[in-house]
Amino acid sequence: MKAIDSSFSEIAKSAKFVELLRQKRGFLVPMTVFFLVFYFLLPILTSFSTVLNTPAIGPISWAWIFAFAQFAMTWVVCGIYSWRSAKFDVLVEEIKKGTKA
């Protein structure tokens, strides 16, 4: 068990691991903030203002367009995360190779 603890301590202190955490944090924090703001903006705007009640396309209001845009946004964020996580996986493999040597 001590060997595992010391291995993890070495990995956690390595420059590549610190870089991985920096890159992940730099991606995940802004993406999470964007997602939460976009998600909660619809109920906030519909509850406290009438800005989304105006017609956008015929009888369809901006509220409906915003609501359906949330579905598209979820898929886009998922795609971006999948694309970006592949880059994180490359860093993880480099870290794993460095610990085997």
Range of the domain at 31: 14-100
The answer to whether residues 16 and 95 touch, using CB atoms and an 8 Å cutoff, is yes
The per-residue pLDDT for 7 is: 75
For the stretch 22-73, pLDDT in tens is 999 999 999 999 999 999 999 999 999 999 999 999 999 999 999 999 999 9
- Using CB atoms within 10 A of its CB, is residue 38 exposed (0-12), middle (13-18) or buried (19+)? middle
Confidence label for 100 from pLDDT (cuts 50, 70 and 90): low
Tokens linked to 69: 């845009």
The verdict on residue 4 lying in a domain is: no
Tokens linked to 47: 């509850």
The verdict on residue 69 lying in a domain is: yes
The verdict on residue 9 lying in a domain is: no
Taking alpha carbons only, the member of 98, 90, 88 closest to residue 25 is 88
Total of domains in the chain: 1
Q: How far is CA 14 from the centre of its chain?
A: 24
Instruction: Give this prediction's pTM.
Output: 0.76
The verdict on residue 2 lying in a domain is: no
The verdict on residue 1 lying in a domain is: no
Taking alpha carbons only, the member of 36, 37, 61, 38 closest to residue 51 is 61
